Amino acid sequence: MSDPLAAPRAIQGRAPDVFREGGWVEMREFSESEAVDFVVIGTGAGGGPLITRLAEQGFSVVGFDAGPYFRPLEDFASDETAQNQLYWLDERIVDGENPIRMGGNNSGKAVGGSTVHFAMVSLRFRPEWFKSRSLLGYGADWPLDWREMWDYYGKAERALSISGPVTYPWGPKRPRYPYRAHEMNGAAEVLARGAEAMGYKWSPTPLATVSAPRGDSPPCVYRGFCRFGCSTNAKQSQLVAFIPRALAAGAEIRDLAMVGRIETGADGRATGVHYFREGRWRFQRARNVVVAGYAIETPRLLLNSANDRYPDGLANSSGLVGRNLMTQSNQAVYGSMKDEVRWNKGPPSLSITEHWNYDDRKDFFGGYCWMAQGPLPIEWVTVLTGSLGLWGEQLRERMKNYNHQVGVKMVGEMLPNENNRVTLADETDQYGLRIPRITYSWGDNDKALVAHALDKMQTSMELAGVRDTFQQVDDTNHLAGTARMGSDPRSSVVNADCRSWDIPNLWVCDGSIFPTTGGVNPSLTISAIALRTADRIKALADRGEL
């Protein structure tokens, strides 16, 4: 078995067949000197669906990813430590009052992007969030209409065979999820009891892992290693759900291919990308370039691509590239139950309450949800040492009680702030590229939201009979912002079609286009927008407007 990190696997006209050990599938290859219709940088929640749909609509597409092309059946060990290989661990500088801990919690590096190790929670935005400035009084309006998004959410859910409840208790009506929700584990039931005691609705969580066979994916086996790479392919990551489709439709994927700079020509349009693969820098010519590297790497690449014509970086006439970085608050309340819970069984977030995303009777902006938890032992030790300061004998005793632990964790909306941003540091990385500096501070609203959530989570846990509760007060997770979409070139980087205002053949299609981040996990929204973008590109191409 070859080392996925040692040398590219998608070469010589073939790519790994993720469904068969040692298997290969045919892959079309494009020449570097001939311009392809689209180069897409990043193959994650945004890049994956976009590459697929563009290829399926007949465009020539090359998808680049700095990460390796994993074979889930062979490469993924049931080992928390070994799976560090999935994360983007390149050097980054973090500062601000609340520096974001970067790595496993928020960035992946693999064909399939962060979805290879994401927790599969697949939620829709509350419709009002697309107009949070005009309807709710904070943040910024999206240039998208929620009804159109509702259609694209449906498409994304079908493409990913989301397993969800028969009826979802919040928001406008949505079509039935393609697969039924998974059985809830002990931790999910405790959340449900707590929610019922608070008078909140709760639901089994819609998840991107199948509850019945789908194609060559077997149903989930509930071993709970989802965030360390699912070794069964039950999980519908982009690596499993989209990339094979993309290859079948004639796209090329280049793994272990780090894009360092986007080139622009005399007319100011993008002409292609410089990328590092197999030990040297190369250049791929392209008629369009789409950046889909997520909220840190996307602005970094745009800024690193500065040239004489665009001294502040590409697509940056608004000065907003890298600004309005948002993360989501990810605080938790943990405790123990008298009975065994075995919270590590199954996907980690099997039940959810979105109550405070839909109830506006609170004195701060934004919303949050919370979900059942199931950290694996090493992560749990980290929580115990970090939040409780346990060590030595005490830690050992508490760990013995692992099967009785239970908890809930929030996903909370943080507000956009121009001073939370990604800039370039002077240091360079292994490719000789300037590394990102990530500056982040929580605002008063962010803190008020967290305090509210911790209080409600704590009460609900206690009402559910959880003892010895304690709070994890400082965690954050998903990222968004840094290349926001909007309807005005002065206050946004891209338009509703994810097309940059400044350079008509440069697009951004990932989590960085979010003007606000909402109180739910972002990937389904990213994928839905990518599906929409592919349709818009086709429509524009048909009208000769590319």
Partner 1 sequence: MGTSKPTGDTATAIAVLSGATVLGGVALALRQPRAPANDTRASLLPWVERSKAPAVPPLDSKATVRAARRLNRAAGTIAASVLVDSAIEHYRGAFHNEAMVTPLISASLSLLASVHGTADDRRGAHVARDLVYAAAGLTGLVGTGFHIYNISRKPGGFSWQNLFYSAPLGAPAAISLSGMLGFLSERLRNNTTDSRPTILGRPAGRVIGLMTSLGLMGTVGEAGLLHFRGAYHNPAMYLPVTMPPIAAALLGASALGEAGRRKPLTRWWLRFTALLGFVGSGFHIIGVARNMGGWRNWKQNLLDGPPIPAPPSFTGLALAGLAALGLLEDHPDD
Q: Which residues bind ligand SF4 (CB under 6 A)?
A: 209, 220-226, 230, 232, 234-235, 346-347
The closest residue (CB) to ligand FAD is 44
CA quadruple 396, 400, 402, 403: dihedral, nearest 10: 180
In angstroms, the CA 68 to CA 88 distance is 11
Please report, for the chain, how many H helices and E strands are present, in that order.
12, 22
CB atoms within 10 A of CB 269: 15
Kindly state the smallest distance separating residue 32's Cβ from partner 1, in Å: 26
Options 28, 101, 193, 447; binder of partner 1; rule CB under 8 A: 193
Residue 240: which of partner 1, ligand FAD, ligand SF4, none does it interact with, CB under 5 to 8 A by kind?
partner 1
Residue in 4, 46, 178, 481 binding ligand FAD, rule: CB under 6 A: 46
Closest distance of CB 195 from partner 1, Å: 8
Query: Given the complex with ligand SF4, which of 234 and 286 has the nearer CB atom?
Result: 234
Q: How far is the CB of 251 from partner 1 (least distance, A)?
A: 14
Whether 226 contacts 208, CB under 8 Å:
no
Binding mask 214-243 for ligand FAD (x = CB under 6 A): -------------x----------------
The interface partner of residue 109, options being ligand SF4, partner 1, ligand FAD, none and the CB cut-off 5 to 8 Å by kind, is ligand FAD
| The two three-digit tokens of residue 361, written as one number | 């009777």
- By beta-carbon proximity to ligand FAD, the closer residue of 121 and 464 is 121
Q: Helix or strand or coil: residue 58? A: coil
Instruction: Answer yes or no whether residue 251 interacts with partner 1 by CB under 8 A.
Output: no
The site partner of 113 among ligand FAD, partner 1, ligand SF4, none (C-beta below 5 to 8 Å per kind) is: ligand FAD
The closest alpha carbon to 222, from 336, 342, 112, 333, belongs to: 342
Q: Determine, following the binding rule CB under 6 A, whether residue 301 of this chain makes contact with ligand FAD.
A: yes
Residue 183 binds to partner 1 (criterion: CB under 8 A): yes
* Pair of tokens at residue 431: 């490719």
Q: Which does 258 bind (CB under 5 to 8 A by kind): partner 1, ligand SF4, ligand FAD, none?
A: ligand FAD
CA distance 286 to 122: 33
Residue 534 lies near partner 1 (rule: CB under 8 A) = no
Q: Does 232 bind partner 1 (CB under 8 A)?
A: yes
Map the footprint of ligand FAD across residues 269-298, applying CB under 6 A: 292-294, 297
Q: Is 118 exposed, middle or buried (0-12, 13-18, 19+ CB in 10 A)?
A: buried
In angstroms, rounded to a whole number, what is the distance separating the alpha carbons of residues 39 and 58?
14
Binding-site size for ligand FAD (CB under 6 A) equals 42
Site for partner 1 in 199-228 (CB under 8 A): 202, 204, 211-219, 221
Q: Using CA atoms, how far apart are residues 195 and 408, in angstroms rounded to an integer?
A: 11
CA distance 248 to 98: 44
**CB crowding 252-266: b at 16 or more within 10 Å, else e:** bbbbbbbbbbbbbee
Give the type of residue at 283: F
Residue 196 is a binding residue for partner 1 (CB under 8 A)? yes
Q: Is position 96 an interface residue for partner 1 (rule: CB under 8 A)? A: no
Shortest Cβ distance from residue 473 to partner 1 (Å)? 28
Q: Smallest gap, in angstroms, from Cβ of residue 527 to ligand FAD?
A: 8
Which of 189, 379, 429, 535 is in the footprint of partner 1 by CB under 8 A?
A: 189
Pairing state between β 434-439 and 421-428: antiparallel
Q: Does 244 bind partner 1 (CB under 8 A)?
A: yes
CA-CA distances (angstroms) from residue 400 to 24, 81, 409?
A: 44, 20, 22
- Spatial distance between the Cα atoms of 423 and 103, rounded to a whole number of angstroms: 18
The site string for ligand FAD over 305-344 (x = CB under 6 A, - otherwise) reads: ----------------------------------------
User: What are 331's two structure tokens?
Assistant: 């605080």
DSSP string computed for 376-395:
-HHHHHHHHHHHH---HHHH
Determine the interface stretch with partner 1 among 99-107, 182-190, 299-307, 357-365 (rule: CB under 8 A): 182-190
Which residue's CB is nearer to ligand SF4, number 63 or number 224? 224
DSSP state of 49: H
**Rounded-to-integer distance, Cα 181 and Cα 62, Å:** 35
Q: Is residue 110 within the footprint of ligand FAD (CB under 6 A)?
A: yes
Closest to ligand SF4 by CB, 243 or 422 = 243
In three state form, how does the secondary structure of 168-193 look? CCCCCCCCCCCEECCCCCHHHHHHHH
Which of the stretches 29-37, 358-366, 481-489, 518-526 binds ligand FAD when contact is defined by CB under 6 A?
Answer: 518-526
Stretch that binds ligand FAD, among 330-338, 380-388, 420-428, 523-531 (CB under 6 A): 523-531
Q: How far is the CB of 525 from partner 1 (least distance, A)?
A: 21
With H, G, I as helix, E, B as strand and everything else as coil, classify residue 275: strand
Crossing angle (nearest 10°) for helices 523-542 and 146-159? 110
Tokens read off for 242: 């989209």
3-state SS track over 59-108:
CCEEEECCCCCCCHHHHCCCCCCHHHHHECCCCCEEECCCCCCCCCCCCE
255 sits near ligand FAD (criterion: CB under 6 A): no
Footprint on this chain of partner 1 (rule: CB under 8 A): 17-20, 23, 25, 165-167, 178-181, 183-184, 189, 192-193, 196, 202, 204, 211-219, 221, 232, 234, 240-242, 244-245, 247-248
Footprint on this chain of ligand FAD (rule: CB under 6 A): 41-47, 64-67, 104-110, 113-115, 117-121, 227, 258-259, 292-294, 297, 301, 478, 510-511, 521-524, 526
